[in-house]
Chain A
Amino acid sequence: MTKLTWLRKNLFNTWYNSALTVICFVLLFRALQGAVVWATTKAQWAVVQINLPLFLVGRFPQTEYWRVWVVLAIAFSLAAITAVVFLGKQRFAGFIKLVAPWLSLIWVLSFPVILWLIGGGFGLRPVSSNLWNGLLLTLFMAAISIVLSFPIGVLLALGRTSKLPVIRWFSILYIEIIRGVPLIGILFLAQVMLPLLLPTDFRLDRVLRAIAGLVLFSAAYMAENVRGGLQSVSRGQVEAAKALGLNTFFVILLIVLPQALRAVIPAIVGQFIGLFKDTSLLSLVGLVELTGISRSILAQPQFIGRYAETYLFVGLIYWLFCYLMSLASRRLEKQLNN
C-alpha cells in the first residue's frame, strides 16, 4: 500500500472524516506548538535537575545509595526471572524447570532482604523510615500493601462465598463498608483512630499506620478480585475432589485456590497499578512519598510557582511505571489464556 492510499483510506475516506482530520490536525498542531514553546522558553527545569535525588530516594543518606541500587538489582532480576518463567520460551526450558518450583519462595525470601537493605540493622547503618521518601517510599508502600492485603483478601473472598451465614455476613459487611468509603477517609481513620483504638502505651509510627490503612482498604478490593476467580472454578472440580475424599480445607487449598488465583493474576496486577497510584494520597496524611516530596520541594522559596514542571516530571514517573505494568499485565493475560 502506498502512502497516498493509506492517507485516503485512514484519514480522508469520507467528507466528514476529512473535515475531522483537518480540525484535529490544526488543534493538535497548535497544542504541540504551544507545549514545545513553553517547554523550551518559559519552563525552568532546574527544579527537576537540582532535586532529582530527592524525587527518587528523598533524604536517604547519600553514602548508603549503593543499598538502593542493590535492592533495584534484586527487584529487576526477580522480575526478569518471573517474566521468563511465565512466558515459557522453549529456549529457556531447562532453566524454567529448575527455577519454577522455587519462584514463590524466592519472592517471599527477597522481602526481608530488601527490608534489611533499606532499613539497615544487622551490620548495616540503620536508616529511619522518616528518611525513606520519594519514589522509594511510593514503591515500598505499594509493594508491602499488596503483599499484606493478599492473604486477608483471599480469606475474605472465601468467607464471602462460604455457606456459613455468620462468616459470610461478616465478610460482606467488611468488604462493602470499605468499598463504600473513599481511601482518604480510611487513611484518616488509620492515622487518627488507630492510636485511639490501640492500648495507650502502644504507639505505631506514621508509616506503619499508613500501611495499615492501605492494607485495610486494599484487602476489600482484593477479596472481590479473588471472588471472581473463585466463581470461575467449575463446580465439577469441587465435586470431584470431594468424591476423592478430601475434606473442605484441602479441597479449597489444593484444588480451588490454585485455579482461582491463576485466573485472577491480571486483575491483581491491575489492582497493584491502582494501589501504586493511590499511594499519592499518603501525601495528604503527612507522608513524604513521590507526591509529598514534590509538594515540599514546591514549598521552597527558590522553586515557588514551578508547579507545571514539577508535576509533569512526577507524572511522567508515575506514568512510566503504570504503563509498563499494564503492558506486562496484558502480555500475562494473553499467556494465561493460551
Chain B
Amino acid sequence: MTNDKPPLWRDSRFWNIAGQLTALFLAALVVTVLVSNLNRNLQQLGIQFGFDFLKQQASFDIGETLIAYKPTDTYSLALLVGLINALRVAITGIILTTIVGVLAGVARLSDNWLVRNISLVYVEIFRNTPLLLQLLFWYFAVFLGFPKADNKISLWGLIGLSQNGIELPWFTLSPEFSALLLGLTFYTGAFIAEIVRGGIGSVSKGQWEAARSLGLKPGLIMRLVIFPQALRVIIPPLTSQYLNLTKNSSLAIAIGYPDIYFVASTTFNQTGRAVEVMLLLMLTYLALSLTISLIMNAFNRTVQIKER
C-alpha cells in the first residue's frame, strides 16, 4: 500500500511546512545581520544600548507643560510632559473635529444651495492640500500675522486673538497649540464630513419617508431615525480618522509645539540614542492607536444591530 502515498515533493503539507521554515530562517538571518551591523555601528559611535540615559538631566526647557517641569529634571519626565501635551491636542482635536466634520457632512446634504456649496468648497480645499502646509499656514501666516497682545482682535469681547494665541475668558491657548489644534481639526474634519455624508446617504430612502409619514419634523427625523442608522456605517472609517489625527499630531514638530515626538527628537539630538528613542516613540504611538481602536470598537458594538 506504500504506493498510494504520494512522494514527498508532491505533498503540499511538506511544502507548506518547508516554506514556512524557510521564511522563519530568512527572517532570523536578516534580523541577525541587521543587529550585528547595528552593534558594530553603535560601537564605532561609542554608544551602548540601554535606557539608563532616561534618568539623566534633560537640561532643555519645554515651552508649555501641564505638570511641573524644569530643565534640571530627567529625560523621562520630559518625555512624560511631551506625552501629556500630545494627549491634550489629540483629545481636544478628536472632539472638535467630530463636531466640525458632522456639521459639514450634514451641511453637504442640506436643501439650502448656499450651505451645501460652502461645505463642498470647504471639503475640497482642506482634503486636497497637505496637512503640513496647512499647519505652517495656520501658524506662520495666521497666528504670527495677528497683532501684538496689547491691541488684540476681540471677538464679541469673549475671544481675543493675538500673537500670544487664543485668549478665552478663563484661559489662554498658546499660538503653537492653537495652530496645531485648528490645523488638525479642519483637515480631519473634511474627511469626516465625507464619511458622514456617505453614512447618511447609505440609509435607505424608505426610512425618511416612513419617518415623515409619522409626522416627525426634519430635525427629529435626522436625530432619531437617520443618524442612529448612519452611525453603523460611519464608525469604522471614523475610527481610522481618529487614529490619523493622533498620528498626525506628531507634525507639531514643524511649528514647535512640544508633543512627544518633539521631545523625543530633542532627546535624540542631545544623546544620539536613535534606537532607544525610536523604540519608545513606536511603543507610545502603538499604545495610543491600540487604545483608540479598543474604545471605538467597544462603542461600535453598542450601535450595531443586535441580532436576536
Contacts and interface: CB of A to CB of B under 8 A. Distances in A.
B137 A307 contact: yes
A302 interface: no
Given A17-B112, A307-B144, A180 B289 contact: yes
Contact of A166 (B20, B261, B286): B20
B146 to A, nearest CB: 12
Interface residues of A, number: 54
A188 B125 CA distance: 29
Interface string A158-194: 0000011111001000000101111111001100110
Given A196-B41, A284-B253, A318-B129, A25 B20 contact: no
A311 B40 contact: no
Interface in A223-243: none
SS class of chain B's interface: helix, strand, loop or mixed?
Answer: helix
Given A21-B112, A28-B118, A307-B144, A193 B137 contact: no
Contacts of A104: none
Contacts of B124: 323
Interface residues of B, number: 54
A33 interface: no
A280 B130 contact: yes
Contacts of B268: 192
The SS class assigned to the A binding surface is: helix
Interface in A1-40: 10-11, 13, 17, 20-21, 24-25, 28
Contact of B285 (A181, A188, A311, A314): A181
A204 B29 CA distance: 22
A322 interface: yes
A307 B247 CA distance: 26
B65 interface: no
B285 A193 contact: no
A200 B40 contact: yes
A113 to B, nearest CB: 29
Contact of B261 (A179, A182, A277): A182
A326 interface: yes
B74 interface: no
Given A182-B250, A198-B37, A322 B129 contact: yes
Contacts of A257: none
Given A164-B16, A196-B41, A177 B130 contact: no
A307 B20 contact: no
A305 to B, nearest CB: 8
Interface in B228-279: 243, 247-248, 250-251, 253-254, 261, 265, 268, 274-275, 278
A326 B128 CA distance: 9
A266 to B, nearest CB: 14
B307 interface: no
Contacts of A298: 140
A11 B136 CA distance: 36
Interface string A294-320: 010010000000011001101100110
Nearest to A199: B37
A50 interface: no
B281 interface: yes
Contacts of B278: 185, 188-189, 192-193
B159 interface: no
Nearest to B244: A182
A163 B115 CA distance: 51
Most buried by B among A167, A183, A185, A196: A196
B173 interface: no
29 contacts: A13-B111, A17-B111, A20-B112, A20-B115, A21-B114, A24-B112, A165-B20, A182-B250, A184-B253, A184-B261, A188-B265, A189-B278, A192-B274, A192-B278, A196-B41, A197-B34, A198-B37, A273-B128, A277-B128, A277-B129, A280-B133, A283-B132, A307-B137, A307-B141, A308-B137, A311-B140, A314-B133, A315-B133, A323-B128
Interface of B: 16, 19-20, 23-24, 27, 34, 37-38, 40-42, 44, 111-115, 118, 124-125, 127-134, 136-137, 140-141, 144-145, 243, 247-248, 250-251, 253-254, 261, 265, 268, 274-275, 278, 281-282, 285-286, 289-290
Task: Please name the 4 residue pairs, one residue from A and one from B, whose CB atoms are nearest each other, closest first.
Answer: A322-B128, A10-B113, A280-B130, A308-B141
Given A170-B27, A192-B268, 15 more contacts: A21-B114, A24-B112, A163-B16, A166-B24, A167-B23, A179-B289, A180-B247, A181-B282, A182-B250, A182-B251, A277-B128, A284-B132, A284-B251, A284-B254, A307-B136
